[in-house]
Amino acid sequence: MRRFPWDLLLALLAGLGLGLVYSWVISPARVSDSEPLALRADFKDHYRSAIAAAYVATGNLLRAQARLSLLADADPIEALNAQAQRMLASGQSPEGADQVAALASALEQGIAFEVTETPTTEITNNTVTTSTSTLPPDPSDVPFEVTDTPQPLETQGTSITSTPRATRTAIPTLGAPFALTGQETVCDPNLPDGLLQVIVFDSRRRQLAGAKILITWEGGEEEFFTGLKPELGNGYADFIMDPDSTYTVQLGAGSDIASGLTTSTCQGLDGETFPGGIKLTFQQP
């Protein structure tokens, strides 16, 4: 009767264990120069945030598209919108979320802009000649502008040329003001009581994600954003109203204001009453 080769089995196990220790602990494989598509999901979010920040700083949409293509997302616009929603839901910087949402909106509409900074101020024999760069009008969905403040140096009889610094000022808006195009009372017993629904469209009648909505009432105010419930639409947002309060809703400075909003009294099929809601629709002209 042949004896089982225990010594050979132990040798194989020992060799396997030593190999794992060497490959995992002593000299693990190091990945370098890998493609962005191989990044972990959270690192891909950091990568998109960096691309969005670069786009906000330069306005180079083609470069942003080329960088995003390295991630090989099935739908880059949807990936950006989803990331902006995650950032807002997790309490991250609203400015960073706005940048990501602005890049998604620019990709969807194909909007690009350039930032030029070439101001000079020349003073010769007390005669001041100022050349100030003129920036193109802010395109819709780009939430910032660049302003240049010249700082001349006055010296009698001396020719001085100074190049001032450019200062970047963030503007919390997504393009042109919005018009209130619809307001209706909603009596649906399947919806939460006092539900205020807001739907935001761009000038092409496409739902706009990342739009900031300001709602105020006596003794309080709150900001919320569209796109946090993509299953209901990228431009959808909602808020639960208190039956004892009256609300005012606005999208950014210069937009139409929906005021005097309060719950209505609705009656169900069984004859019972319940607080109804309101549906508002805003659109860029």
Query: Which tens digit of pLDDT belongs to each residue from 258-269?
Result: 999 999 899 888
What is the residue type of 231?
E
Taking alpha carbons only, the member of 135, 131, 134, 137 closest to residue 164 is: 131
- Residue 105: C-alpha distances to residues 14, 139, 180, 244 (Å): 58, 11, 20, 37
Q: What mean pLDDT is reported for the chain? A: 78
Mean pLDDT of 15-26: 84
What band does 9 get if pLDDT is binned at 50, 70 and 90? Answer: confident
- Judged against a pLDDT cut of 80, whether residue 54 lies above it is answered with yes
SS3 (DSSP) at 273 = strand
Q: What is the pTM of this model?
A: 0.44
Instruction: Give the class (CATH, top level) of 179-283.
Output: mainly beta
Tens of pLDDT, residue by residue over 201-237, are 988 889 988 889 999 999 999 999 998 888 888 899 9
- Residue 99: C-alpha distances to residues 5, 80, 225, 234 (Å): 66, 10, 14, 16
- Residue range(s) occupied by CATH 2.60.40.10 in the chain: 179-283
- Judged against a pLDDT cut of 80, whether residue 196 lies above it is answered with yes
Tens of pLDDT, residue by residue over 112-135, are 544 444 444 444 444 444 444 444
What band does 175 get if pLDDT is binned at 50, 70 and 90? Answer: low
Measure the CA angle with vertex 234, ends 233 and 240; round to 5°: 70
In this structure, of 126-130, 245-249, 268-272, the range with the lowest mean pLDDT score is: 126-130
Mean pLDDT of 40-65: 87
Measure the CA angle with vertex 43, ends 41 and 48; round to 5°: 95
Tens of pLDDT, residue by residue over 85-94, are 888 888 887 8
Mean pLDDT of 52-78: 87
Give the pLDDT of residue 186. 93
Percent of the chain with pLDDT over 90: 26
